[in-house]
Amino acid sequence: MDDSYRISDPQVLKAVTHPLRSRMLGLLRAEGPATASELGRKVGESSGLTSYHLRELAKYGFIEEDPEQRDGRERRWRARHRYTSWDNKDMAATPEGREVLEVMRMRQLDALVRSVRSFDASAWPAEWGDVSGMSDLLVRLTPEGVREYFRRIDELRDEMEERYGDDPAAQQVYLGLTAYPRSPSAPEDTPASASEDSEGGEAR
């Protein structure tokens, strides 16, 4: 599996704005190859519907038939990349691209909400509960500073995965990054951890 699928065509990115396709692609990336029937049971949809959307994902290059795990009755699909990437500036150059970007932001937010809701600290050892959580911070940066921040986080993530990824205690962990300039007209959006009287502080 390749690391990244770099997309420049809004029509291709639009293919994963469909919520069911987005979920199935995420499952194939996280859990490995599966058939339409297997995915249908996981997402609560018919195999006919999942089969159609899997073919659409394949059409736009996100997944492919798995030649190593053929099923005699049904195609088994696998993801071609670990994640999808695009350039916001290039994608926003057209009305279609701007619309797709807005929908993708909502899909990313949906995925984050699902990951948070699915976490039950009581079902995990105490050490996992101790390091799990979210942090929202308000800092002053330039666009170049944000770009450098993302680059350095990517480097650190790769370093940590190389160091700990093969450890028997390692688990798949949801990691998320966001960065949006705050509008001065929206004071209610100020993160709680940025408030002077906040008791919660920063969650790891």
Which two structure tokens, joined as six digits, stand for 74? 């049904």
Q: Is the domain 1-121 a CATH 3.10.129.10 member?
A: no
Q: How far apart are CA 50 and CA 61, in angstroms?
A: 17
pLDDT value of residue 184:
79
Any idea where the domains of the chain sit in the sequence? Answer: 1-121, 136-180
pLDDT value of residue 195:
41
Q: How far apart are CA 64 and CA 55, in angstroms?
A: 9
Q: How far is CA 20 from CA 26, 59, 85, 110, in A?
A: 10, 16, 19, 12
Go through the chain and tell me how many residues it has: 204
Q: How far is CA 42 from CA 4, 38, 118, 129, 172, in A?
A: 25, 7, 14, 26, 18
* pTM for the structure as a whole: 0.77
pLDDT value of residue 202:
36
Amino acid at 94: T
Which two structure tokens, joined as six digits, stand for 203? 């969650």
Task: List, as one string, the DSSP characters of 129-145.
Answer: HHH-----------HHH
Residue by residue, pLDDT tens for the chain (204 residues) are: 788 899 999 999 999 999 999 999 999 999 999 999 999 999 999 999 999 999 999 999 999 999 876 656 789 999 999 999 999 999 999 999 999 999 999 988 988 998 999 999 999 999 999 999 988 899 999 999 999 999 999 999 999 999 999 999 999 999 988 999 998 776 566 555 554 333 333 333
Tell me the pairing of strands 63-65 and 76-79.
antiparallel
Nearest to 25 by CA among 15, 203, 45: 15
Q: Are 194 and 137 in contact (CB under 8 A)?
A: yes
